[in-house]
Amino acid sequence: MPAPVDVSAVIKQSFPQLVERASADHPAFSAPAGDVPAVLAFLRDSHGYDLLTDLTAIDNGEDATPRFTVVYHVFSTTAHTYLRLTADCSDDRKPSIASVTSLWPGADWHEREVFDMFGITFDGHPDMRRILMWEGYPYHPLRKEFPLAGIETPLPDIEVSEETGTKVLPAPMAGGPFVTSSGEINMAKAEPRAKDESWNEKKEKPL
Amino acid sequence: MATEFAFPDTAAKGSTAAQEFQTEAMSLSIGPSHPSTHGVLRLQMELDGETVTKCDPILGYLHRGDEKIAENMTYNQFVPYTDRLDYLAPLANNVAYATAVERLAKLEVPPRCQAIRVIVSELARVSSHLLGLGAYGIDVGAWTVFLYTFTEREKLYKLFEELTGARFTTSYTRIGGVARDIPDGWLDRVNAFCDQFLPILDEILQLLTRNKVFMDRTVGIGVITKEQAIAYGLTGPNLRGSGVPLDLRKDKPYLGYEQYEFDVPVGVSGDCYDRYLVRGEEMKQSIRIVKQAVAKFPAGDWYATDAKKIFAPPKAKILTKMEELIQNFMLVTEGPQMPAGEVYFEAENPKGALGFFVVSRGGGVPWRLKIRSPSFCNLSILPKLCVGALVSDVVSILGSLDFVMGECDR
């Protein structure tokens, strides 16, 4: 079934708890975390949004509440329209949300990636493992408190790291000029003079 | 049948003979560095004889944290990183990224800029499909194809080098325009390439299309149904190979694609062979688009002249005029100034729909930039697709999905 022209009205009628979300392009709605599978199933089965094209999350900042927002983009292969659905995770410490793998098997890897990068667990996911980082990696790199350069961690291969003592080191650029730390997004403020990280005869480059 | 026979042959399931010949389950790991995995993908498989019973792809060997990096630099600084997503079609990635950010700023680039972007995207598609085809040939034992396709790619690289200054990592677009206008006579050389390319492409495809060995390795192998393709979020030639006529250039036109005439090839059975056919035909359609774009190449500006806070003025003006100098300084230090908002844009790239989800809180640096990579989504069907296939079929399936790990792992 093709998506109706005014999908907003239809959705609001069926799910009055949904709030419209500011968006620069496609229709966007914010749903309570618990309703996500129901809303997406409704969109897929009754309005032709059959392709889950993207599933990701946003970290709204270390001090923000709610901290994590999960974002779904669905696409209708018949009407060729996108729709964005977002849901805030209720618990900022141990964020979790219901999995949609039962609706789209393709959500499997997306949810694993969000878990890997943000530490959001998806309830009902068949195989909640990391996907890009290795098993046993202790951090969630896309969280805002994680530094750009990385953090020293043991090598993925525990046997090798125990024997040789080698570790995964942060990028050598850490602390150098023009490298912003997380949350500091103004380039002018990250400039060496502003951070007073300029190196000269009097102040040597830290080793 | 009335009487039951005790088959002595091993194929008869349940017979004592079959149990006697049952092989032990074996686990096999292909990759991360293996010619058939096209980069650094590892497949952890469990086999029953020659048949795959479980396939677990292990990704992340090429994970560089592009999304994290994007949060820490200005919009223009991220352009070179997009080269390294699908590094077989960097120009198309540049265009997709720039268009996404321009959607956020509600900025329309002039027709000439759009035409340049269309031409480079389509040439990038040809270049990417040529490599995909050549490498696929090698995967299934047809080495010659690779030599032909690489000769053609070399010609394309020459054109890219002339336009962008680089063969491989082009970084050609800027937010609100492109890095530079096309050089004199470049369009003629593009046209000349197109003219000589079509007969050669036919020749290349003839090496495979009715090749008995190639058909044996691909027809009926790795069948993806329409429903499966959509359920797993497949896009691009892999989706169209399964018979879904979805092409964002047609269905959700951007960059003025609606003015060009082209067809969207679709497969019938969704097997490896169909995906190969779709890619072959797509190259012809791309050339068709390029020829149209060259024929009615618009005059005018090649960057958005009205976007002072987004696109830097020409170098000659920066060096001679005060206001332009200040403008350039602000752009370099603060980045192109974007309004707050959320935008999601997908472009029809050679590998599928490359999407950028940009969350801006204003200023020159994105708060969050998510890259929806087509290779990642296309590969997610592997655990389903490989089960029941032979080990040799896995090689064929991998090649037919035509993925790039740089984009998959980001």
The residue of chain A with its CA nearest to that of B332 is A187
Q: Which of A125-134, B4-13, B159-168, B290-299 has the lowest mean pLDDT?
A: B4-13
Best B77, B99, B230 residue to mutate vs chain A (most A CBs within 10 Å)? B230
A50 touches chain B (CB under 8 A): yes
Does residue B356 have a pLDDT over 60?
A: yes
B61 touches chain A (CB under 8 A): no
Cβ under 8 Å to A: B residues 321-350? 333-335, 339, 341-346
Q: What is the least distance, in Å, from the CA of A190 to any CA of chain B?
A: 10
Q: What is the pLDDT of residues B323-346, one digit of tens each?
A: 888 888 888 888 888 899 999 999
Taking only the tens of pLDDT, chain A with its 207 residues reads 445 557 777 888 888 888 888 888 888 889 888 888 988 998 888 888 889 999 999 999 888 888 899 999 999 988 888 999 999 888 888 898 999 999 999 899 999 999 999 999 998 888 888 899 888 888 899 998 887 777 778 777 777 777 777 777 776 655 554 555 544 545 555 555 555 556 667 777 666
Q: Which residues of chain A are within 8 Å of residue B71 when distances are taken between CB atoms?
A: 182, 185
CA distance B92 to B410: 16
pLDDT at B15: 47
Please name the CATH architecture into which domain B66-409 falls: Orthogonal Bundle (1.10)
**Phi, psi (rounded to 5 degrees) for B209:** -55, -45
CB B335 within 8 A of CB B328: no
Average pLDDT, chain B: 87
**Domains of chain B: which residue ranges?**
66-409
User: Which CATH superfamily, name and number, covers A7-148?
Assistant: NADH:ubiquinone oxidoreductase Nqo5 subunit (3.30.460.80)
Which of B35, B152, B59, B128 minimizes the C-alpha distance to B378?
B59
**DSSP state, residue B106:** T
User: How many other CB atoms are found less than 10 A from the CB of residue A42?
Assistant: 16
* Mean pLDDT (whole number) for B60-71: 88
B264 touches chain A (CB under 8 A): no
SS (H, E, C) B17-35: HHHHCCCCEEEEEECCECH
How far from the centroid of its chain's Cα atoms is residue B3's Cα? 57
Cβ under 8 Å to B: A residues 101-120? 104-106, 108-109, 113, 117
Tally of helices (H runs) and strands (E runs) in chain A: 6, 9
Q: Where in chain A is the domain with CATH 3.30.460.80?
A: 7-148
Cβ under 8 Å to A: B residues 89-108? 103-104, 106
Q: What is the least distance, in Å, from the CA of B246 to any CA of chain A?
A: 7
Q: What is the least distance, in Å, from the CA of B119 to any CA of chain A?
A: 24
CA distance A78 to A95: 35
pLDDT at B370: 93
pLDDT class for B17, splitting at 50, 70, 90?
A: very low
The residue of chain B with its CA nearest to that of A106 is B232
Place of tokens 């019973």: B53
ipTM for this model: 0.83
Q: Which residues of chain B are within 8 Å of residue A25 when distances are taken between CB atoms?
A: 103, 343-345
